């Protein structure tokens, strides 16, 4: 089964690592699993593929709200 995680970064989540943020929002997915998905280029932030789990997220970038999309298959 495929699953998409899609959300907008909130004020209190500003400057968090992307892997920490996703784990905080989706507690059923381990940080290790999130890290591996990111390294497999399954994560997009504002339509840009992210390759580093340590990337910091910003609530807004260039005046636009930050949107995160993680696509993966549940095993």
Total residues belonging to the chain: 75
Quick: pLDDT tens for 16-51: 999 999 999 988 889 999 999 999 999 998 888 999
SS3 31: helix
> Would you state the pLDDT for residue 74?
59
- Half-sphere exposure of 29 toward its Cβ, with a 13 Å CA cutoff? 23
For 26, 52, 67, the CA distances from 10, given in Å and listed in that order, are 15, 21, 10
Is the pLDDT at 75 greater than 80? The verdict is: no
- The answer to whether 20 and 45 are in contact (CB under 8 A) is no
Q: Which residue has the higher pLDDT, 71 or 17?
A: 17
> Would you state the pLDDT for residue 47?
86
pLDDT confidence bin for 65, thresholds 50/70/90: confident
Q: Which domains does the chain have, with CATH numbers?
A: 2-73 (3.10.290.10)
Computed over every residue of the chain, the mean pLDDT equals 86
């Amino acid at each position: 089964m495929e699953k998409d995680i899609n959300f907008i970064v909130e004020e209190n989540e500003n400057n968090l690592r992307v892997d920490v943020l996703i784990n905080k929002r989706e507690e059923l997915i381990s940080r290790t699993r999130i890290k591996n998905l990111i390294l497999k280029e399954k994560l997009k932030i504002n339509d840009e593929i992210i390759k580093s789990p340590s990337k910091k997220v910003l609530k807004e970038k260039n005046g636009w709200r930050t949107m995160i999309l993680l696509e993966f298959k549940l095993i």
